Structure 1
Amino acid sequence: MVRFSTGGVARLVHRFVIILVVIHFLFCSIAWAESSVSYRSLEQEIRKLLAEEEGTYGVYILDLHTQQFCGINQEVVFHAASTFKIPMNLFLFQQIALNKINPQLKLTYKPQHYEGGTGILQFARYGTSYTIYELAKYSMVYSDNVATNMLLGYLGRKNVKDFMRSLGGKVVDDRRNITCPRDMAYYMKALVAFWENYPEYGSILLNHLENTVFNERIPKLLPSGTRVAHKIGNWPATGSYHDVGIVFHPTHPYIISLFSKGVPDRTHCFRVLQNLSLLVYNTQSRLQEATLVVNGQELDPDVPPVVTGDTVYIPIRFLAESLGLEIFWNPQEKWARIRGKRNVVLRAGTREIWIDNSVFPGSLPIENIAGRIMVPLNLVEQMFDVSVTWDQEASLVEIRST
């Protein structure tokens, strides 16, 4: 029989408890919030605004600077209506940019292309020909259904749907015209990236979206002169009225995706979408980031330090690497280990960090923004041998090794 001393048993129990706590910390599921840290109050305001509304509304906001997002019913399925013309035209212009399609090629209007609703080509004669460039403009500026059908027939519906999937679309059906607010925001984000990579062709697309004749939703209540590149969609059969756009806010440009279904009144729905748009714009005006200086050197992380409430969230990888520390990221379990004089383990969604096998609780949770772990500033001094200074007036964080 193996015998243990009382002290040995106590040590074994202590180690076993530590192992259980670490396992729970690293591997138990985390209840992820629907929205990024700077948008939690916005999410509450939107939910309050929509609480008494009939029908279903879907919202997805993406800040193009910080990559923070706000989502409400963001993956609920909606009839896409004419918002489908966004990814279709993006696919078209991608093919043009790759020299796979000649934009001056003419397509002929045939009976199978006819569709009523929005647009002006429904009144044209069959047999009339239009260049691909012309049809793209009609489909975006006038939301022309005939132009869309002509382009879609040329491009191939399956090719467009596969392209949507390649951009990260989750709600894509080869037969049905369906989508969700999150997917349409992703297509708009892809359009922004296309514009950056192919400015000649991306500018044409954005110009069409900025000059649409339908401006009664996202842009309606925004400050005069605000640039908005957007595309509306209507499907009255399901009480669906949408708008998806890029708002060129002066300090925080963003993508906004607004969807509805089952709404009893079109005019009232427009007012709801207008109010949502204004609420988001005003929130963007209040957002704030901070400058991060480490040992006298200003850093330029891809996700900047975010100011929210009384604290600043710091991108931990950039900070650790600037301090010469080794960082290991576990993408499956979403935890990070930092090795230096102290061994630190942390995970987004929790309020605790582990330092040399001891747990340190925090008052605020560690966040994940655009795939980057962001740590509240008050935890930084506990994690590393550094001094921290926060100049709120100048929005400046200075960190120095000690």
Structure 2
Amino acid sequence: MKKKAAAALVFLAAAMWGFYLLGGMAASRFSPAGSPPAGAVQADSPETPLSDLEWDAMVSALSKASIAYPGRVGIYLKDLRTGRSWAYQPDRLFPSASLIKVPIMTAVFDKIARGELALEARIRLTGKDRRGGSGSLKWAREGTSLSVMELLYKMITESDNTATQMIIDHVGYSYLEYSFRKIGLVYTNITPEGMSLTSGRVARENYTTPREMALLVDRIYAGAMIDKGSSQLMLDLMKHNKGRTRLRKGLPMGWEIGHKTGLLRRSCHDVGVVFSPRGDYIIAVLTSEVPSYASAKRFIAGMARLTYGYYNIDVPYTAAGRSRNSNAI
């Protein structure tokens, strides 16, 4: 029965995801004329992994830039081809801001996999769910009904705060805390106060670490979060993130990235998996007590640009194939 239920989930998710993307509810991500399409791979790329010398030079540059930035910084980098990793203050606590939406997403998929929720289940918008900040759902009329799939899409791709609150109200804070511990998150927490959009300090903040966010994305990439089908859907959601700053800005347009950003209370983050010609890699860059959001965004883009300099191969792009593990539904 469990196998049949899992198969049904994957089939339903695939069908709904395809409908959602093709039905106009999600914005398509077409590259400008003359640019390589997202997910392109480079022609005849030998996909040679970074040598020890290149890796050492890259992490040395990352370390120097991290030390020089006038704010708190935490980074976790992992080469998914070689398994090598490097970190700078990876276990420091940072206000999670909208990075919290990634473990919320995993908690929802866990509930779906156990048959306690369905992607097609509909949730109605109430006045108490409405939140300002990111996302378009704050403008929707009270009583608007959206499926869980639609809410997840808005929560991850738009960082929609109203969609996030609707999901939280439906599953509950206690369930989310339970789910976070179940998947192995030790420092990542969630509280009602932490979900506040106030710019000042709150009594009980939401926290996370670069290591926990990076390893969470690592498990999603590997197909090990909940199950393979759920992991693929989660990765696809992250690939449709509409943000064009931070990590995305530091990478060439032809490179695919599945990521999630966060920005709140002088904290600015981005964590994701980058699909590059020389191997996929995970990078989490978290900052706090930043002098300005603009400087933090430039810093994160600079970190991505540094990695691009080493993972790039200077040959023409081709759309002949898609990057590893990018079997988008």
Q: Same fold (TM over 0.5)?
A: yes
TM-score normalised by L of structure 2 = 0.70
| Equivalent residue number for residue 220 of structure 1 | 249
SS at match of 1:65: coil
Is residue 109–residue 226 contact of structure 2 (8 Å, CA) maintained in 1? Answer: no
Is residue 176–residue 190 contact of structure 2 (8 Å, CA) maintained in 1? Answer: no
| Equivalent residue number for residue 271 of structure 1 | 298
Q: Give the deviation of 1:196 after TM superposition.
A: 8.3
CA distance in 2, matches of 1:81, 1:43: 26
SS at match of 2:258: strand
Q: Answer yes or no: is 1:75 the counterpart of 2:91.
A: yes
Q: Answer yes or no: is 1:153 the counterpart of 2:180.
A: no
- The equivalent position to 2:181 in structure 1, one of 159, 162, 165, is 165
Q: Give the deviation of 1:258 after TM superposition.
A: 0.7
Cα distance, 1:62–1:97 mapped onto 2, change above 3 Å: same
Deviations 1:108-138 (A, max 9, x none): 1112212111011111122211111110111
Q: Over alpha carbons, which structure has the higher Rg?
A: 1
Q: Give the deviation of 1:221 after TM superposition.
A: 2.5
Q: Answer yes or no: is 1:189 the counterpart of 2:205.
A: no
Q: How do residues 3-402 of structure 1 correspond to structure 2 at under 5 angstroms?
A: 39-175=55-191, 176-194=205-223, 198-235=227-264, 237=265, 239-284=266-311
CA distance in 2, matches of 1:161, 1:194: 22
Deviations 1:222-262 (A, max 9, x none): 12310100111010x2x111111111122321111111111
Q: CA RMSD in A?
A: 2.3
**Whose relative contact order is higher, 1 or 2, with alpha carbons under 8 Å and at least 6 apart?**
2
Cα distance, 1:193–1:97 mapped onto 2, change above 3 Å: farther
Deviations 1:172-221 (A, max 9, x none): 33533110111101111121233788454333322221121112111213
Q: Give the deviation of 1:168 after TM superposition.
A: 3.0
Cα distance, 1:48–1:234 mapped onto 2, change above 3 Å: same
What is the letter of the counterpart of residue 251 of structure 1? Answer: R
Is residue 172–residue 179 contact of structure 1 (8 Å, CA) maintained in 2? Answer: yes
Q: Give the deviation of 1:268 after TM superposition.
A: 1.9
What percent of counterpart residues are identical?
27
CA distance in 1, matches of 2:243, 2:165: 20
CA distance in 2, matches of 1:117, 1:197: 30
- Please say which of residues 44-53 and 182-191 is displaced more in the overlay: 44-53
What is the letter of the counterpart of residue 241 of structure 1? Answer: C
Q: Give the deviation of 1:37 after TM superposition.
A: 9.7
Higher-strand-fraction structure:
1
Is residue 195–residue 203 contact of structure 1 (8 Å, CA) maintained in 2? Answer: no
Is residue 39–residue 69 contact of structure 1 (8 Å, CA) maintained in 2? Answer: no
| Equivalent residue number for residue 344 of structure 1 | none
CA distance in 2, matches of 1:230, 1:58: 17
Deviations 1:295-317 (A, max 9, x none): xxxxxxxxxxxxxxxxxxxxxxx
Q: Give the deviation of 1:50 after TM superposition.
A: 2.7
Gaps of 5+ in 2: 1-51, 192-204, 314-329
Deviations 1:320-345 (A, max 9, x none): xxxxxxxxxxxxxxxxxxxxxxxxxx
What is the letter of the counterpart of residue 116 of structure 1? Answer: G
SS at match of 1:278: helix
Cα distance, 1:64–1:271 mapped onto 2, change above 3 Å: same
CA distance in 2, matches of 1:73, 1:220: 24
CA distance in 2, matches of 1:115, 1:37: 48
SS at match of 2:250: coil
The aligned length equals: 249
What is the letter of the counterpart of residue 156 of structure 2? Answer: M
Cα distance, 1:164–1:65 mapped onto 2, change above 3 Å: farther
CA distance in 2, matches of 1:167, 1:67: 21
Q: Give the deviation of 1:285 after TM superposition.
A: 5.1
CA distance in 2, matches of 1:232, 1:280: 18
